[in-house]
Amino acid sequence: MTIEADAQAPLEPKPEIAKGLVIHKAGATSPSCRSTVETVDTCAVDPAKVYQLSGWLKNDGDGLVGLRVTWQKGDRQFSEHPVVLVANQPWKERSALLRPLPWADRVQVGVFTEGREGKSSFDNIQFVEKADGDVKPAPAVRFGQVAVNFEGTKGVFSAHIGGVTALVDATLALVSEDGKTVSGVESGIQPVATEEGGKVAFRGLLYDFLLQRSTNYLVGANAGAGGVEARFAVDPQPGSASKPRLSFYVVGPQALGEVELGLGDKHERLQPSDNKRLKNVTDVTFNIGQRPQLYLNFSSPVEVETRRMGVQRYVEVTFKTELAIEIAPENISEKQILANKLKDLDEAMQKNQWALAFRRCQEIDAKYRGKFDEAREKVDAARGKLDEAWKSDEEKIAQQLGLLKQFGAGAADATEKFLAELAGKWAETPRLSEIKTAMAQVEAARAAGKNQAAEEAAALDLGRAQKAFETGGDNLQVAVILCNKILRDFKDTEAAKAAKELLPKAEAAKEKYNNLADITDRLKHKVEAYAKAGDYDTAIQMIRNDPEFRAHAHELEELQAYVKVLEGKRNNK
């Protein structure tokens, strides 16, 4: 940068200082390398007034050349180039009427050049109040809680949520693949702003430094579904290797929290200090899970790079040729899905469908608790009511189990029916395990009832078996049968223990009884012919002389009685 006499503008009359400013572009690192020269001091401005920026410009070489202003207030500043000339230009005097940004109270004036060949010259730069100047304030679009305020004359804007700034310096640019060559709308050429039907559009030209020619651009805004829709477009140029890119800073609370990026059917969560570049991003939420939030929904998948820079978060969005971005205080589509799920939850609660309500709470809690206050509040309230409902059902379970304890198996069917209905109401919830525990008590009571019935039936059969054993004779067979039945059908009862001891006794007694009966039948049959013939002595002697009779005479009561009958007949003969 030099001060040279050759850089003097063709002014008449000649100025006292016959020199101008020259910026030499040789040695620039990229085709769009920018050099600026600004006043050391700032001067006060009033946003209610209009000012004129003017000067003489000349360009020998490539790129852009123009006049520059930087509006300031405290640490906040905004720069743009109200006057821009393209490529080789002879000396030209150019001017622009400007209205300071609404928040600015000072301005710094300067010149700029972009390119890497030749030199740019400047002279007689002036910034003066223009009493008769007429410049409309920069337009704005508002819808709901969202306001998009354009700043300057090129299409740069900021966004506000609920009156608080959330996004600043949103700037459209053409960027080379390596990111080194950048042409932003702050150096836009011949911009024209229009307002119609609630829509705002800035149309102008962006200079493609790789092609060394200009292309059309559009930056616009209009009311959207849940906020303001910002629109961007750059005409594609044959052979261009540049891509459109939107860059901005997220500020305030939204810049300090976690970031969630939508990637089709999945999401990726970034911590507040994380830096990341991701492709195929469909939406992004800043300060996720907290308030306030900033939600951006992209009309088509884009590449997003974001990095934390102090208390701000810098974001770059690279797209193809056109892009619309819904700017909203929260995820509009997810909010609608949440509204439907909350409606389903309310209906389930109203119908006492506790299992369905529990599932709805789980679904909403897992996906939306960290995103929407309403989700957290509704789920917590529903869970409180579920706890109350369970407390009531828990008391009914206790009452039913009390009846089960009192009446045993007699109350099992009614208790089981009651618990089965509850299990349907609380299916797939943690309460189901408690209901199953109660059901186990029903089964235990029913089993206890069966055991009691078995004990009673076995005891009855044992009594009959013991009586049959004591009666003896043919009843011994009954005793054996009953003992075997008890051991088969009631083997785990107390009666079975007694039957196990009685059975061998009954079997032994039965065997002995059968043996004595066989002896009796054999001897009666043996002497039957003698008794019929009246030979009673022979019949009596045959019986008394039989070895088995002599061995069991004291037990053969029936045969002893038969002998006495024979003896009586003999004596009466």
Per-residue pLDDT tens digits for 539-565: 889 989 999 989 888 888 889 899 999
- pLDDT for the residue numbered 489: 87
**Burial of 296 by CB count in 10 Å (0-12 exposed, 13-18 middle, 19+ buried)?**
buried
- pLDDT for the residue numbered 401: 85
Return the SS3 of 554: coil
Mean pLDDT of all residues in 379-389 = 95
By mean pLDDT, which of 1-15, 76-90, 182-196, 497-511 is the weakest? 1-15
pLDDT digits (tens, 9 = 90+) for 278-288: 999 999 999 99
Half-sphere exposure of 197 (CA within 13 A, CB side): 0
Other C-beta atoms closer than 10 Å to the C-beta of 191 total 19
Strand partners, 202: 193, 219
- pLDDT for the residue numbered 229: 97
Cα separation, 380 vs 361, whole angstroms: 8
Determine what percent of the chain is predicted with pLDDT higher than 70. 100
* Structural domain 2-129, CATH architecture: Sandwich (2.60)
Q: Which residue has the higher pLDDT, 190 or 490?
A: 190
Q: How many residues does the chain have?
A: 573
455 pLDDT tier (thresholds 50, 70, 90):
confident
- pLDDT for the residue numbered 148: 97
pTM of the model: 0.70
Look up residue 212 and give its two tokens: 């060394």
Q: What is the mean pLDDT of the chain?
A: 92
- pLDDT for the residue numbered 493: 84
- 111: left (phi > 0), else alpha (psi -120 to 50), else beta? beta
- The matching CATH number, chosen from 2.60.40.1930, 3.30.950.10, 3.40.800.20, 2.70.98.10, for 140-330 is 2.70.98.10
- pLDDT for the residue numbered 282: 95
- pLDDT for the residue numbered 326: 96
- pLDDT for the residue numbered 377: 93
- pLDDT for the residue numbered 473: 87
The pLDDT of residue 450 is above 80: no
- pLDDT for the residue numbered 348: 94
Angle of helix 536-544 relative to helix 494-533, nearest 10 degrees?
140
The pLDDT of residue 327 is above 90: yes
Look up residue 463 and give its two tokens: 């009594």
- pLDDT for the residue numbered 160: 96
525 pLDDT tier (thresholds 50, 70, 90):
very high
* CB contact at 8 A, 290 and 370: no
- pLDDT for the residue numbered 86: 96
Other C-beta atoms closer than 10 Å to the C-beta of 91 total 16
Mean pLDDT of all residues in 196-202 = 94
313 pLDDT tier (thresholds 50, 70, 90):
very high
